[in-house]
Amino acid sequence: MESPFFTVAPSQAGWLLLDGDRIAELFTSRFWALKAADCFAYERHVATGMPTAIIVEMANGEGVFAARYE
């Protein structure tokens, strides 16, 4: 089953875009990681009709909702 959320998280090499527990892509900037996450979340919502969300992991380890599609 596909994950209902995408996570953008900082890493030593840049910004990770995670699809559930899987690494989907690595970006050099937070901006492009969020843009890609938004595209993926929207496309999954349109394809499945299920709610999707984007979570941004902050430096302190907390997650913040950046967007959701319902």
pLDDT in tens, 21-44: 999 999 999 999 999 999 999 999
% of residues, the chain, pLDDT over 70: 97
Please give the structure tokens belonging to residue 53.
């969300």
The answer to whether residue 1 scores a pLDDT higher than 70 is no
Predicted TM-score (pTM) of the model is 0.89
Q: What is the mean pLDDT of the chain?
A: 94
